[in-house]
C-alpha cells in the first residue's frame, strides 16, 4: 500500500505477467496497475480447462504472498455470468435516520433474502452506520504525557475478555475469565488510560487516574463516507442480488420480488424499488423468440393451406411441426441442451423447414392415390420411393449447420447450441416424414379420382419452363449477372459483431479529478441526475446513483473505483419516445460540458459485455510502447483526430491526471538516531490521519466500531504531526522527513507485456460498427508513429474479426 503505479509495475506487475503468460492455455495477458494495487488478468482459450488453469495460476503467483509489501493476494476466476441479477433501492420515511435504515437492512432484510432458494448473496450498497468516535486532543495528550498508541491499547485491553485459566475443585472444573467488555458509550469515556499526581505534592500526593474523557471527546458519529447511494435524488440503501451458480435467473428474481412484497407490507415506512431486473430482459428475449417460432409455424401452415387448398392435407402436414418439436426436445435432453435464446432461435429457424420433408412425402403419396391405389398401398409406396431423396436433402442441410459445432473461440460457444438444435429438428422431421406421415395418410386419405385435370395455371407454367429452357445462353447470362450483382452488394454490406438492442437501461460513469472527496462527487452526481431528468423528461423512470467505492468493482479489481467516481444507472419507461442511444446522444453535449469531469457511458446494447471483459465502449484503439510520455502524446493526438469523425462521439483516453500524493523523503540519519523506520513512521501517520479501530461495542445485535482518531489536520499542518521515538522522545514529521507534493500516472495499462494507452469511443446514432471502424482505420493511417510503437484496434472489433474468420471457415466447409 502507498506505492506508486510505476513502483508496483516494476516490482510486481512485470514479474506476474511473465509467470502467468507461460501457463498452458493462456491466450492473452493484460494488467492494470494503480497506486497500491496491481490487477493481472489472464485470458484463456475457450477450450481450456479452467479448473486446472486456476490451480496453475495459484501455484505461479502464490509465492508473492510471502513478500512483506503484499498485504493481500487474491486469485479469482472471473465469471461473466456472476453479475447481479437484480438491484433494489430501499428508502424510508423522512423521520427515519440512515443509521436505523442500514440496521434494518443488515439485520432483517439481507438475511431473509439470502435464505431464499437460488440466492447466493445480497450485497449492501451505500448507507452509513454510526461509530463510537474518540477524538483525541493533542495538547491534553501532551499535558498528561500520553501518546495516541497508549490510548488505543488501553481501550482495546478494557474491551477484551481474558482467560484466567481453569480452577479444579473436587470433581468440578471452573473456567476463570476476566470480563472487560464495554457496554455503552459511557463505558468508553470512563476507560483509564493513564494517571497523574493529585494535589498532595510531588512526594505525598495521591495518584489520580486519567480517563478517556480527560484527553478527548467521545461521541456517536457517522462513519466517514465511502459510498453514497441515491434513488431519484433521495439517499437510500441498495441491495445487489446475486444468484447461485446454476440457478435460473427468472425463478430467482420472481422469488425475491415475492419476498420484498411481503416485507414491504410488514415494514411500515419502508419502500422497495426495483431499479435493475435481468429477468425482464431474459423473459422479453425468450418471449420474442417463442412468438417468432409460433408465428413461423402458423405462417407455414397458412401457406400450405393456400397452396394445397385442402384442410385434410394441411392438417396432416401441420401435425409434423409439433411432433418434430417434441422429438427435438428429446434429443436436446440427451445432448444436455437447455431452452435458451440460442436453442429457441434454432427451433424458430427450423420451424419452416420442419414441413419440407412432409410435403415431399405427402405429394408422392397423393400421386399414387390419384393413380387409383388404396390409401395403405399409396402411403407405403409413396414414402419409400422418396425416402433416399429426402434423406440426402436433409443430410445436406444438416451438413451446412454441423460444422458450426466444431468452431473454436467465441463464435463456436455462441452458435453450437443453435447448430445442434437445427440439426436435431431436421433429423426429427425426417423421421416424422417417413413414419408418422404415411401412418396418418393411410388412415385419413381415401382413393382419389384418377382423372388428371390440367388447369390453365399449370399449362402456363409448363409453357414458361419450356421457353426458359430453350434459351439456355440467355438463362446462363441472367444467372451469372444475378450472382455477380449479389457478390457486389455483399461487399458493401456493413458488419458488426452482435446486433444492438435497446434494453431501456444505460449507465453514466462520472470521473472527477483524482483526490476529489466523495461529498463533492455526490453533488456532481446530483447535478447530472437533474440533467438526465430534464433532458429525458417522461422517458426516464428512475435514476439510481452510486457515488464512491463500488463494492462490486472493489471485489473484481478491474474497473477503477474510488471517492472521485459516480455511476448513474438510468432506467427508462417501457413506453418512451426515444431510444437509449438517442437519449445518450442528447445528453452527451451537456454532460461533457461540465468542467474537469470525464463522462463515459455503458449502453447495455448486447448480451456479451461480460464475456468480452466488461468493455463499455464498442470502439477501442490501443497504442502500445514503453515510454509513458510518448504513449500519452500519441494517444492524445489520435484522440483529437478521432473526435472530428462524424461516426464517433465521446472519445476518451486512459491517460488522465493521477492521484496527488505527498512524497515523504525520510532523513535516514535522524530517523535511525531515534529508532524510527519507514514502516513505523507510516504506521503512525496512518493511525493519526485515518484513525484506528480499538475494538467494537455490541448492543441490540449490532456492533459499532470504536475508532480512536487524532485531530484533523490540513496539508499545511501535516509537518506538525507528532511521532514518538523508541526512547520516548517526541518529534514532528517535519523533523525527520521532507514533504513534496507530486502527481504520478493514475494507472498503467499493459497488454502482452507491453504498456498501452487506450482510446474509447461510441457509435453515433444510426452508424454500424464496421462503418465507424473504417473511419478510424483511415484516421490511424494518417498518424506518424515512432519506431517501437504501434496502433491497433481492439475490443469488440478484435472479437468480431476472429469470430468472422471462424465462421468463414465453417461456410467453406459447409459448401
Residues 6+ apart with CB under 8 A from 341: 285, 286, 289, 607
What order of strands is seen across the sheet that includes strand 565-572?
234-235, 227-231, 540-548, 565-572, 505-511, 598-602
**Angstrom distance (rounded) from CA 38 to CA 8:** 7
pLDDT confidence of residue 89: 93
Given a contact cutoff of 8 angstroms between Cβ atoms, the answer to whether 105 and 237 are in contact is yes
What does the pLDDT average to over 523-546?
A: 92
* pLDDT given for residue 455 in this prediction: 57
Distance between CA atoms of 54 and 35, rounded to whole angstroms? 26
Confidence of residue 325 (pLDDT cuts 50, 70, 90): confident
Pair 197, 122: CB distance under 8 Å: no
With CA atoms as reference, report the closest residue to 639 among 624, 622, 659: 622
The three three-digit cell numbers of residue 28, written as one number: 492473452
Query: Helix H segments across 550-659?
Result: 551-556, 580-592, 628-643
Q: State the pLDDT at residue 463.
A: 82
Cβ–Cβ < 8 Å for 128, 241 = no
Asked if 239 and 121 count as a contact pair (C-beta separation under 8 A), the reply is no
- Distance of alpha carbon 737 from alpha carbon 717, whole angstroms: 14
What is the C-alpha separation between 370 and 367, in angstroms, rounded?
A: 5
- What is the average per-residue pLDDT within 710-715? 74
User: What is the mean predicted confidence (pLDDT) over 403-408?
Assistant: 72
The DSSP bridge pattern shows strands 130-136 and 702-709 to be: parallel
Exposed / middle / buried, residue 631 (Cβ in 10 Å: 0-12, 13-18, 19+) = buried
Q: Are 130 and 99 in contact (CB under 8 A)?
A: yes
Residues 758 and 603 sit within 8 Å (Cβ to Cβ) = no
What span, in angstroms and rounded, lies between the C-alpha atoms of 795 and 413? 18
Q: Looking at the chain, how many residues does it have? A: 815
Amino acid 568: pLDDT? 93
| pLDDT the model gives residue 204 | 46
The pLDDT-based confidence of 814 (bands split at 50, 70, 90) is low
Cβ distance 128 to 148 under 8 Å?
Answer: no
**Alpha-carbon gap, residue 509 to 731, rounded angstroms:** 44
pLDDT band for 246, please (50, 70, 90 cuts).
confident
What local confidence, expressed as pLDDT, does residue 336 receive?
A: 84
Query: How far is Cα 644 from Cα 776, in angstroms, rounded to an integer?
Result: 10
Distance between terminal CA atoms of the chain?
59
Alpha-carbon distance of 448 to 365, in angstroms, equals 11
7-16, 318-327, 687-696: which is most confident:
7-16
Which pLDDT value is given to residue 688?
A: 75
Is the separation of the CB atoms in 548 and 562 below 8 Å?
yes
* Per-residue model confidence (pLDDT) at position 679: 78
pLDDT exceeds 60 at position 453: no
Res 613 pLDDT > 50: no
If we measure between CA atoms, which residue out of 690, 695, 714, 717 comes closest to residue 706?
695
Q: At what angle do helices 356-370 and 311-318 cross, to 10 degrees?
A: 140
324 pLDDT band, cuts 50/70/90, is confident
Domain 96-124+225-277 -> CATH class: alpha beta
Q: What is the H or E stretch that residue 281 is in?
A: helix 278-308
Share of the chain above pLDDT 90, in %: 11
pLDDT of residue 202: 47
Beta strand 598-602 pairing with 648-653: unpaired
Question: Comparing C-alpha atoms, which of 550, 643, 617, 597 is closest to residue 758?
Answer: 617
Give the containing element (helix H, strand E) for 121: strand 119-126
Q: Which three cell numbers stand for residue 524?
A: 456532481
Cα–Cα distances in angstroms (integers) from residue 423 to residues 58, 278, 298, 404, 797, in the given order: 41, 30, 21, 11, 30
Residue 158 has pLDDT above 90, yes or no: no
Domain 500-605, CATH among 3.40.50.1370, 3.30.70.1430, 3.20.20.70, 3.10.310.70: 3.30.70.1430
CATH architecture label of 130-222+673-709: 2-Layer Sandwich (3.30)
pLDDT at 205: 52
DSSP codes of every residue in 657-675 = ---EEEEEEE-HHHHHHTT
Q: Residue 747: which residues within 8 A CB-CB, separation 6 or more? A: 5, 32, 33, 34, 560, 654
- The total of other beta-carbon atoms located within 10 Å of residue 477's CB is 11
Top mean-pLDDT range of 101-110, 412-421, 457-466, 611-620: 101-110
Mean pLDDT, the chain, integer: 81
pLDDT tens, position by position, 327-337 = 888 998 888 88
Query: What pLDDT was estimated at residue 259?
Result: 93
Question: Are 559 and 32 within 8 A, CB to CB?
Answer: no
Residue 577's SS3 state is coil
pTM: 0.71
pLDDT value at 411 more than 80: no
Q: Cell for 96?
A: 427515519
Decide if domain 1-77 falls under CATH 3.40.1280.10.
Answer: no
**Which 3-state string (H, E, C) describes 152-173?**
HHHHHHHCCCEEEEEEEECCEE
Q: 196 with 167: CB under 8 angstroms?
A: no
d(CA 351, CA 355): 8
C-alpha 32/C-alpha 514 separation (Å) is: 17
SS3 430: helix
pLDDT band, residue 498 (cuts 50/70/90): low
Q: For residue 221, give the DSSP letter.
A: E
pLDDT digits (tens, 9 = 90+) for 182-219: 888 898 898 898 888 765 544 445 678 899 899 889 99
Whether residue 557 has pLDDT greater than 70: no
Phi and psi torsions of 741, nearest 5°: -90, 125
- Cβ-in-10-Å burial (0-12, 13-18, 19+) of 409 comes to middle
pLDDT 10s digits, 159-170: 877 666 777 777
The mean per-residue pLDDT over the stretch 562-588 comes to 87
> Taking 90 as the threshold, does the pLDDT of residue 716 lie above it?
no
Amino acid at each position: 500500500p502507498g506505492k506508486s503505479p510505476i513502483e508496483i509495475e516494476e516490482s510486481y506487475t512485470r514479474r506476474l505477467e511473465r509467470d502467468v503468460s507461460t501457463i498452458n492455455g493462456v491466450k492473452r495477458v493484460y494488467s492494470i496497475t494503480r497506486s497500491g494495487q496491481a490487477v493481472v488478468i489472464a485470458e484463456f482459450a475457450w477450450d481450456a480447462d479452467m479448473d486446472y488453469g486456476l490451480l496453475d495460476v495459484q501455484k505461479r503467483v502464490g509465492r508473492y504472498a510471502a513478500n512483506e509489501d503484499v498485504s493481500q493476494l487474491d486469485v479469482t476466476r472471473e465469471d461473466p455470468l456472476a453479475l447481479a441479477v437484480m438491484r433494489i433501492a430501499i428508502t424510508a420515511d423522512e423521520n427515519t435516520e440512515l443509521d436505523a435504515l442500514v440496521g434494518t437492512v443488515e439485520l432483517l432484510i439481507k438475511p431473509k433474502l439470502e435464505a431464499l432458494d437460488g440466492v447466493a448473496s445480497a450485497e449492501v450498497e451505500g448507507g452509513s452506520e454510526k461509530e463510537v468516535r474518540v477524538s483525541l486532543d493533542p495538547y491534553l495528550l501532551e499535558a498528561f504525557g500520553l501518546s495516541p498508541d497508549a490510548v488505543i491499547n488501553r481501550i482495546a485491553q478494557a474491551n477484551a475478555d481474558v482467560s484466567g485459566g481453569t480452577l479444579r475443585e473436587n470433581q468440578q472444573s471452573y473456567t476463570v475469565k476476566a470480563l472487560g467488555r464495554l457496554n455503552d458509550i459511557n463505558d468508553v469515556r470512563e476507560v483509564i488510560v493513564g494517571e497523574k499526581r493529585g494535589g498532595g505534592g510531588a512526594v505525598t500526593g495521591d495518584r489520580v487516574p486519567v480517563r478517556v474523557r480527560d484527553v478527548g471527546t467521545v461521541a456517536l458519529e457517522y462513519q466517514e463516507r465511502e459510498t453514497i447511494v441515491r434513488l431519484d435524488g433521495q439517499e437510500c440503501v441498495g441491495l445487489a442480488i446475486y444468484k447461485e451458480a446454476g440457478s435460473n435467473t427468472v425463478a430467482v428474481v420472481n422469488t425475491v420480488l415475492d419476498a420484498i412484497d411481503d416485507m414491504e407490507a410488514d415494514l411500515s415506512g419502508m419502500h422497495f424499488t426495483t431499479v435493475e431486473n435481468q429477468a425482464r430482459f431474459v423473459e422479453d428475449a425468450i418471449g420474442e423468440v417463442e412468438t417468432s417460432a409460433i408465428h413461423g409455424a402458423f405462417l407455414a401452415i397458412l401457406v400450405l393451406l393456400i397452396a394445397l387448398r385442402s384442410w385434410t392435407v394441411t392438417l396432416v402436414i401441420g401435425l409434423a411441426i409439433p411432433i418434430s418439436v417434441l422429438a427435438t426436445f428429446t434429443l436436446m435432453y440427451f445432448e444436455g441442451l437447455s431452452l435458451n435464446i440460442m436453442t429457441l432461435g434454432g427451433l424458430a429457424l427450423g420451424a419452416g423447414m420442419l414441413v419440407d420433408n412432409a410435403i415431399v412425402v405427402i405429394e408422392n403419396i397423393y400421386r399414387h392415390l390419384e393413380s387409383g391405389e388404396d390409401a395403405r398401398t399409396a402411403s407405403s409406396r409413396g414414402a419409400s420411393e422418396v425416402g433416399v431423396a429426402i434423406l440426402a436433402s436433409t443430410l445436406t442441410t444438416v451438413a451446412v449447420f454441423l460444422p458450426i459445432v466444431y468452431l473454436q473461440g467465441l463464435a463456436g460457444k455462441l452458435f453450437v447450441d443453435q447448430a445442434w438444435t437445427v440439426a436435431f429438428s431436421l433429423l426429427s422431421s425426417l423421421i416424422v416424414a417417413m413414419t408418422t406421415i404415411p401412418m396418418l395418410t393411410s388412415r385419413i386419405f381415401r382413393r382419389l379420382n384418377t382423372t388428371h385435370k390440367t388447369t390453365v395455371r399449370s399449362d402456363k407454367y409448363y409453357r414458361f419452363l419450356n421457353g426458359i429452357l430453350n434459351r439456355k445462353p440467355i438463362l446462363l447470362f441472367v444467372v451469372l449477372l444475378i450472382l455477380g450483382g449479389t457478390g457486389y452488394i455483399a461487399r458493401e454490406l456493413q458488419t458488426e459483431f452482435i446486433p444492438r438492442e435497446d434494453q431501456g437501461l444505460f449507465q453514466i460513469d462520472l470521473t472527477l479529478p483524482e483526490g476529489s472527496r466523495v461529498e463533492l462527487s455526490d453533488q456532481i452526481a446530483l447535478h447530472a441526475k437533474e440533467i438526465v431528468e430534464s433532458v429525458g423528461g417522461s422517458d426516464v423512470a428512475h435514476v439510481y446513483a452510486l457515488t464512491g467505492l463500488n463494492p462490486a468493482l472493489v471485489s473484481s479489481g478491474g474497473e477503477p473505483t474510488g471517492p472521485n467516481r459516480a455511476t448513474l444507472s438510468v432506467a427508462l419507461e417501457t413506453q418512451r419516445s426515444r431510444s437509449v442511444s438517442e437519449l445518450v446522444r442528447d445528453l452527451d453535449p451537456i454532460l461533457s460540458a461540465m468542467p474537469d469531469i470525464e463522462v463515459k457511458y455503458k449502453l447495455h446494447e448486447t448480451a456479451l459485455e461480460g464475456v468480452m471483459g466488461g468493455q463499455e465502449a464498442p470502439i477501442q484503439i490501443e497504442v502500445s510502447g514503453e515510454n509513458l510520455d510518448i504513449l500519452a502524446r500519441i494517444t492524445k493526438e489520435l484522440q483529437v483526430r478521432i473526435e472530428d469523425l462524424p461516426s464517433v462521439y465521446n472519445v476518451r483516453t486512459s491517460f488522465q491526471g493521477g492521484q496527488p500524493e505527498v512524497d515523504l523523503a525520510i532523513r535516514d540519519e535522524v530517523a535511525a538516531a531515534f529508532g524510527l523506520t519507514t514502516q513505523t513512521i507510516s504506521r503512525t501517520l496512518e493511525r493519526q490521519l485515518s484513525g484506528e479501530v480499538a475494538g467494537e461495542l455490541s448492543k441490540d445485535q449490532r456492533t459499532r466500531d470504536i475508532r480512536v482518531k487524532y485531530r484533523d489536520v490540513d496539508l499545511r499542518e501535516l509537518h506538525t504531526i507528532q511521532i514518538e521515538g523508541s526512547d520516548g522522545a517526541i518529534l514532528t514529521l517535519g523533523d525527520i522527513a521532507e514533504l513534496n507534493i507530486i502527481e504520478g500516472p493514475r494507472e498503467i495499462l499493459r497488454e502482452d507485456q507491453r504498456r498501452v494507452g487506450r482510446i474509447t469511443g461510441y457509435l453515433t446514432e444510426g452508424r454500424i460498427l464496421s462503418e465507424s471502424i473504417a473511419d478510424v482505420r483511415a484516421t490511424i493511417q494518417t498518424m506518424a508513429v515512432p519506431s517501437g510503437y504501434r496502433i491497433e484496434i481492439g475490443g469488440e472489433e478484435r472479437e468480431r474479426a476472429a469470430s468472422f474468420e471462424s465462421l468463414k471457415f465453417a461456410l467453406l466447409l459447409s459448401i
